Structure 1
Amino acid sequence: MTQPARSDMNRILIIGGTGSIGRLVAARLLQLGRLPRVLTRDPDRAQRPLPSGVEVVAGELADPTAVRGAVDGVDAVVMTHGAPYGSGNYAAVDYGAVPAVLDALDEHRVPIVLMSSIGVTASGGQSRELLEWKRRGERLLRVTGLPYTIVRPGWFDAGSSSHQQVDLRQGDLTEYGPVRRDHVAETIVQALLTESARGRTVEVFSANGPTITDWPGAFLAAEPDRPGDLDGARDRPGPRPEAEPERVRADLRRHSHTPLTPDI
């Protein structure tokens, strides 16, 4: 038997809410009667692309006081953030947002949906640095013991608008495909509101076929991540913790729900 969507989740913080996916997530949450909140360094500019009804709070991820204020009173967190490609700010933004939010939440246990990327387990390529930092953010979130879902979108804007089916996969295999941005946003929203999405890492693509009408069943069909494991359920093994940068090791020590092996 599948579970109904959560009805007790109203105020939801969106980190990266002014980006293309974050805006769609905010609009969809409003449509469902939820109260999205967006943290941004420029509230006046943010109001223009965001739909009316979205709460906008001022602050930057690098400011712990601002992030603590942004998470205050929220029932869940969605993270659709990302540094501009080629900026080199991946450690500070793509990874850095994860420990910033975890630090701000402290002992407050709320569901988190993190948008990552396909290809994070690949060993090379032009985007290697970006993908490595995204994977580190994923791995940190997995060991916290928090109720999380990690969503890895396929290639943006590479498919056809005729693709109506949201295609969920796992394992970060090389058979990557396109995805519609609205399909990514819908997967994130449904992951947030669906209990069977907890503790899972899924890739999302767009394909020919019928639309998903049973989201709880779709997530339940995905293999759950092993509790406390750094990697996703079907992922290729990642680097050992002691091989990570000291900053990452420190975050793992601070936020891990259970002791890591080996001790780092």
Structure 2
Amino acid sequence: MTSAQVSVENLVLVVGATGGVGQLVVGKLLEKGFKVRILTRNAAKAQKMFDDKVEIAIGDLHDPATFPAAMVGVSYIICCSGTTAFPSTRWEFEQTPNLIEWIKLFLNPELAQTKAKNSPAKVDTQAVTNLVQAAPRNLKRFVFVSSCGVLRKDKFPYSILNAFGVLDAKQKGEEAIINSGLPYTIIRPGRLIDGPYTSYDLNTLLKATTEGKLGVVLGTGDKLTGQTSRIDVAAACVESIQNSDSERKVFEIINQGARPSMINWEKLFSELS
């Protein structure tokens, strides 16, 4: 089935829906007529953000016991959760570190990972593994937003980006998905650009356009380097879920060259041999 052949009966579970890419994914799914459910810890925030146009399942990525209700009737999962590459408040430390403690954390990556609830290892590896294990066995597609550089961790600038293990964690998340036997699409963007950077209302999401006016380039083998619009990452997630050419594919996506009037996703996916 191509990306153009969309059935409104298909239910998509979006994980990380309140993040920058996730918000756009939800907006694009709704625009195409998909039924959307999101997994979130904050129902009030999600209801306000998406104007009550999505189903909300209350759950915590770190607690697999909260997953079963979210998985009922799901045909597709799009996972665009993530955390920062370096220690920040998004890592959710038990107690907010003071200046001295921040310095200690930056000097000791292992200590930082241990003390944080949302470290890369816990979000991009363990939480993704939890999702894979809970996913329906008849799932039609598991889409995961990873990162360029997972196979080039020893090369600049990825060696710096991976100082606290974010690329290690994403690679292990990829492996959990690939080894699960589920049909999958793994998308590796470059450095993310374009908003939203904060919570946008649904109308704003649907009107979002990339400011860079650059084309979309896909590649395999982790050879591409560059920046990628969150808008195009979200579009790739949504366009791929019902496209047979993107099934069981791992690909990089960056923005490069002149942007055509319309991105031909079917052609881009068909060239992923």
Matched with 2:161 is: 127
Contact 2:153 2:167 in 1 (8 A): no
Matched with 2:127 is: 97
Deviations 1:170-207 (A, max 9, x none): 2212x511111111110111111212110111111112
- Structure 2: how far apart are the matches of 1:62 and 1:3? 34
Matched with 1:62 is: 62
Contact 2:13 2:36 in 1 (8 A): yes
- Structure 1: how far apart are the matches of 2:237 and 2:141? 12
Contact 2:184 2:249 in 1 (8 A): yes
Give the superposition deviation at 1:47.
2.4
Matched with 2:77 is: 77
TM-score normalised to structure 1 length: 0.77
Matched with 1:239 is: none
- Structure 2: how far apart are the matches of 1:33 and 1:136? 33
Matched with 1:196 is: 245
- Structure 2: how far apart are the matches of 1:188 and 1:199? 13
Which amino acid in the other structure matches residue 234 of structure 2? Answer: A
Question: Which deviates more, 26-35 or 56-65?
Answer: 56-65
Please list every run of 5 or more consecutive structure 2 residues that lacks an aligned counterpart in the other structure.
92-112, 114-118, 195-209
Higher relative contact order (CA 8 A, sep 6+): 2
- Structure 1: how far apart are the matches of 2:221 and 2:73? 35
Question: Residue 167 of structure 1: which of 192, 217, 236 is its match?
Answer: 217
* Structure 2 residue 146 is the aligned partner of structure 1 residue 147: no
Residues 17-32 of structure 1 correspond to what in structure 2 (within 5 A)? 17-32=17-32
- Structure 1: how far apart are the matches of 2:138 and 2:129? 14
Q: 1:122 to 1:214 in 2, by over 3 A?
A: same
- Structure 2: how far apart are the matches of 1:97 and 1:162? 33
Q: 1:217 to 1:149 in 2, by over 3 A?
A: same
Identity in percent: 30
Residues 183-222 of structure 1 correspond to what in structure 2 (within 5 A)? 183-207=232-256, 208-211=258-261, 213-222=263-272
Contact 1:166 1:211 in 2 (8 A): no
- Structure 1: how far apart are the matches of 2:21 and 2:130? 21
- Structure 2: how far apart are the matches of 1:3 and 1:108? 19
Give the superposition deviation at 1:63.
2.0
Q: Which has the higher helix share?
A: 2
Cα-Cα RMSD: 2.2
- Structure 2: how far apart are the matches of 1:186 and 1:7? 14
User: Aligned residues, how many?
Assistant: 221
Which amino acid in the other structure matches residue 75 of structure 1? Answer: S
Which amino acid in the other structure matches residue 116 of structure 1? Answer: S
Question: Which deviates more, 53-62 or 182-191?
Answer: 53-62
Contact 1:17 1:26 in 2 (8 A): yes
Matched with 1:254 is: none
- Structure 1: how far apart are the matches of 2:33 and 2:265? 18
Q: 1:213 to 1:45 in 2, by over 3 A?
A: closer
Which amino acid in the other structure matches residue 220 of structure 2? Answer: Q
Residues 230-245 of structure 1 correspond to what in structure 2 (within 5 A)? none
- Structure 1: how far apart are the matches of 2:36 and 2:249? 23
Matched with 1:46 is: 46
Which amino acid in the other structure matches residue 270 of structure 2? Answer: L
Give the superposition deviation at 1:48.
2.9
Please list every run of 5 or more consecutive structure 1 residues that lacks an aligned counterpart in the other structure.
224-264
Matched with 2:94 is: none
- Structure 2: how far apart are the matches of 1:185 and 1:68? 25
- Structure 1: how far apart are the matches of 2:51 and 2:260? 29
